[in-house]
Chains A and B, each alone.
Chain A
């Protein structure tokens, strides 16, 4: 991790654990950027990241900045056993980004009753207990669904 931030007191969210091919994603998140992997030859965007393009088999990868805007595709609230590192049960969601890829994340600043498929969301970032960060999403107020 490029950042060596001191964790904020009271931050309990688990740190991300990732394979070498996903390091760029988490290094970007630590800088407050949501990044994706695109093939430098055929421009196919993939997630989760991988060392070879599944479309043209090129090993040339480029990192692109993602819009951070998307929609809730599915969502759940894990109640029991309580997730490790969360004071209150989080809303876990699968977010479909405008670019067409999906990310597992959280929806924050939203009541469970408000969360549904198609809810427009935008990215923000949340700290983790070891000084890393993760991308999370909040409703995009005033957005047209």
Chain B
């Protein structure tokens, strides 16, 4: 009989533009909330996982929580590509027996303290000995004026858009759907603030001809945490366990995180195809079994390309799939029902995972009726979650 791991608790802080407290405090608050949600004593945490980019130390956070004896820690590179990969690693740790109660966290003052959306250019040229965080080829972009995540992503997406005739207006349907979801989610920064396609088209160019302002995620302050343990143990805890049916990573040859320009055909995301292949093979499920998709949405083109990679539509067909309410609540495949990173907050992908958990518990604000299976993806990693 196969072993399963489960998400036993979720927690978060408020999402804002100025938290007014340290990132470590955000991490501690979100972690305590997730452990309370699960009904687990924080002292009992024995595994901790976060992003290489997270500024808080494991030991610093363990000291806040009073962790008795940490058995396992790891960090995942690749910026937001780490988000669902943390769940994959936590599952592996629990199933191997190396840890029993794994805490995942990501907390940042990514608006008030520093800004991912601003240019990042070293002051002087020459040799450096760091590559760093799985995004080393970004060095090849800087002296050409591609200095922000939006510009790196746009350069990868433009070929896809030109090949399949995808216009910026087509991308607007993703923003409109997600802002509609955010508008009815009180936890979202853009609560009560839906947009129209015309609003999208009137927002200024960030990177022409791919991304307007309303194609981009937010910069946010906040923290999110999850607690992973065995399904068997989770059944005895406070909340309904959410089973990790399958979780997978995929980093195919020559693929990179965001300056992803060096693999063969830039009309596809080979990493997302790899994740999809592994998830469907390991679970025995198929795209039609997914009743919710939480897709990493730092920028709207990523949503289109993941829809194609996970088989929800054919290649080049996502621009039509996202029209006519298909990705909204009540549509064929609701996507990013919390508003996503565009509408709710940018906690580096982690708030899209907690939304899948709320949906499967039946406690989401924008509840997608009764559902059994949800897909969460950050491109280089993904998971199929279930309440059965």
Contacts and interface: CB of A to CB of B under 8 A. Distances in A.
B83 interface: no
A79 interface: yes
A104 B146 contact: yes
A136 B177 CA distance: 40
Interface string B142-172: 1111111011001110110011000000000
Given A74-B162, A75-B158, A16 B143 contact: yes
A117 B158 CA distance: 10
Interface residues of A, number: 45
Nearest to A23: B127
A124 interface: no
Contact of B261 (A90, A104, A134): A104
A106 B145 contact: yes
A32 interface: no
B159 A90 contact: no
A85 B121 CA distance: 9
Interface in A93-134: 93-94, 102-106, 112, 116-117, 128, 130, 132, 134
A139 B164 CA distance: 24
B147 A76 contact: no
Interface string B108-139: 00000000011101101111111100001101
B119 A76 contact: no
Contacts, number: 145
A16 B154 CA distance: 21
B144 A105 contact: yes
Contact of A128 (B125, B253, B266): B125
Interface residues of B, number: 47
Contacts of A104: 140-141, 144, 146, 155, 259, 261
A77 B253 CA distance: 28
Contact of A74 (B125, B142, B156, B213): B156
A75 B146 CA distance: 11
B159 A73 contact: yes
Interface string A18-61: 11101100000000000000000000000110000010000000
B232 interface: no
Nearest to A118: B162
A81 interface: yes
Given A17-B128, A102-B262, A80 B205 contact: yes
Contact of B208 (A1, A79, A94, A134): A79
A74 B266 contact: yes
B158 A130 contact: no
Given A74-B156, A74-B159, A132 B146 contact: no
Nearest to B253: A54
Contacts of A81: 117-119, 148
B369 interface: no
Contacts of B67: none
B208 A77 contact: yes
B139 A79 contact: no
B35 to A, nearest CB: 39
B209 interface: yes
A94 B128 contact: no
A89 B204 CA distance: 14
B129 A20 contact: yes
B125 A17 contact: yes
Most-contacted residue by chain B among A20, A73, A74, A134 (CB, 10 A): A74
A48 B140 contact: yes
Given A74-B156, A74-B159, A76-B155, A14 B142 contact: yes
Enumerate the 8 nearest inter-chain pairs by beta-carbon distance, A residue then B residue, closest first: A15-B125, A83-B145, A74-B159, A90-B145, A74-B158, A78-B151, A79-B205, A76-B154
Interface of B: 117-119, 121-122, 124-131, 136-137, 139-148, 150-151, 154-156, 158-159, 162-163, 204-210, 213, 253, 259, 261-262, 266
Interface of A: 1, 13-20, 22-23, 47-48, 54, 73-81, 83-86, 89-90, 92-94, 102-106, 112, 116-117, 128, 130, 132, 134, 136
Given A15-B126, A74-B156, A84-B121, 11 more contacts: A17-B126, A17-B127, A17-B128, A76-B155, A77-B209, A81-B119, A85-B145, A90-B145, A92-B144, A92-B146, A104-B259
9 contacts: A18-B128, A19-B127, A48-B137, A74-B261, A77-B205, A93-B155, A104-B141, A112-B208, A130-B125
